[in-house]
Structure 1
């Protein structure tokens, strides 16, 4: 652990996840001089991206630098402790919550904030996974501008890909690769035509080069970048273990919260991609602020 003080037997708040949402939540609590532990597995969702976009004052900055600076600023507060590792189990206790770490040790907190993010489940297309976050993306607002209005491919994964195909003409010339995953109806075909989207029905064999789409007939479509609507799943089992309500979103399950980021389990909060249908760095930071503030106020105004 890293801290200026010895770790207490009972923290005010244990935060699982030390990326943007978890850091933001911890900062609010640190500034309230509460005893906080952040448990971080060190696997940021955007770890493959070279730059982060759309976050005010940080536009274009490497995402790892943003996270590292946030951690450094947070650890200047004397009531903050940091634990590298994975949280594998959480249970309700009379005092609050007990969180077991992968190494076998356990920590306790009066409140628990889940900020552990999600796992992207990418389409089984050869060459796609290794280009994820570099030449293959999921968020037009995060990565569309840098494609310089070039040729953009949308790889269909299901009905949600229609949303991508309709949005992305604002960022470039769009080719929609249906790949036997989606068949637009007549109304959708008309809408795509109005947006100037080119449709390709021949299945995709693999991705080569930067973002070259090679079809099963051997033809190649060179793209400036590709977008794919991947499924997501929670990166941590803790919410399910505790009995938090899990909601099914358009791209995968996420933890249901109220406007203060409280889950259905008293004393448990969730923020960032863990508790969103779709996310981004700016959304995660904002969610973390709310979760941290709400957890702090619950220590004052509500009994566990």
Structure 2
């Protein structure tokens, strides 16, 4: 298949990028495997927050509406499947495969997202997206200013520990992930964050933290710092430069979401250190505009 613009990833960033190109009357192919980062949240019937006009809706519903609106444009094609075996062709085209189908595109937008790896605490992964979160702005308000726990995965937990007292009474569970110094302890005390050094044995109930000494601290919700990795090998296959972010590597992009590889753009969680639905949509707009304008300027 030969196409002007291909987008790998059909979640919030990819849909947003595709919409800009569709409205520019360009022929667009979206390749999607239906593996949104927050699909576990979709399964739990939870809601997305902080995205104007969509606050409180299920992420799956927002994405489904976006896809339906996009597919009203006759110049858009949708292909279900995983993209792989990406390379730069001798003619400068961007080639990849989706199953048995070969695709060649003049411009490529990567909206491939990331995968999360959580600290190895029993019971934590089962509650991911339900009562265990990573973004206070997305989920902090719903905890009703109650008890909030932070399961440390490393020094990045300090960031959560300074922020979360604005959302509730906060306890930082060090869990042997790192050593907190006197200066940090004093700063957190000023914020009202309590520090618990006893290791965490497991998580039970909604968000109950069972400590190694048998104590059970009941929390309204928990936050942790997942380690992220690219959800697709395509960026690496094409040779896109990466940035080593605090949560994991992400694709290096410029002002119009262009990568280090000519005619390849990237957006969404794969192309920023941390994000949310609203940021992914905004990045997608810029990637679509950038890819379109690169054909002219």
Paired residues, number: 292
- What's the CA shift for 1:95? 4.8
Question: 2:97 aligned with 1:100, yes or no?
Answer: yes
| Counterpart position of 1:157 | 153
Q: Secondary structure of the residue that 1:233 maps to in structure 2?
A: strand
Q: Which of 264, 271, 287 is 1:275 aligned to? A: 271
Q: Which moved more, 1:282-291 or 1:193-202?
A: 193-202
Question: 2:31 aligned with 1:34, yes or no?
Answer: no
Q: Secondary structure of the residue that 1:116 maps to in structure 2?
A: coil
Matches within 5 A, 1:114-263: 114-263=110-259
- What's the CA shift for 1:139? 0.1
Contact 1:152 1:175 in 2 (8 A): yes
User: For the residues of structure 2 that align with 1:46 and 1:115, how far apart are their CA atoms?
Assistant: 14
Q: What are the superposed Cα offsets for residues 79-116 of structure 1, whole Å, 9 maximum, x if unpaired?
A: 10001110112111215211111x22211110000001
Matches within 5 A, 1:8-23: 9-23=1-15
Q: Secondary structure of the residue that 2:100 maps to in structure 1?
A: coil
Question: 2:282 aligned with 1:290, yes or no?
Answer: no
Q: Which moved more, 1:236-245 or 1:42-51?
A: 42-51
Contact 1:156 1:229 in 2 (8 A): yes
Runs of 4+ in 1 over 6 A off after TM superposition: none
Contact 1:154 1:165 in 2 (8 A): yes
- What's the CA shift for 1:300? 2.2
User: For the residues of structure 2 that align with 1:86 and 1:217, how far apart are their CA atoms?
Assistant: 46
Q: What are the superposed Cα offsets for residues 140-193 of structure 1, whole Å, 9 maximum, x if unpaired?
A: 000000000000000010010000011000000001100000221111010011
Question: 2:62 aligned with 1:70, yes or no?
Answer: no
Q: Is there any run of 5+ residues in structure 1 with no aligned partner, and where?
A: 1-8
| Counterpart position of 1:90 | 86
Q: Secondary structure of the residue that 1:159 maps to in structure 2?
A: coil
Q: Is there any run of 5+ residues in structure 2 with no aligned partner, and where?
A: none
| Counterpart position of 1:56 | 52
User: For the residues of structure 1 that align with 2:166 and 2:85, how far apart are their CA atoms?
Assistant: 44
| Counterpart position of 1:45 | 37
TM-score, normalization by structure 2: 0.97
Query: Aligned-pair RMSD on alpha carbons?
Result: 0.8
User: For the residues of structure 2 that align with 1:41 and 1:204, how far apart are their CA atoms?
Assistant: 36
User: For the residues of structure 2 that align with 1:10 and 1:104, how far apart are their CA atoms?
Assistant: 15
User: For the residues of structure 2 that align with 1:63 and 1:115, how far apart are their CA atoms?
Assistant: 16
User: For the residues of structure 1 that align with 2:121 and 2:185, how far apart are their CA atoms?
Assistant: 25
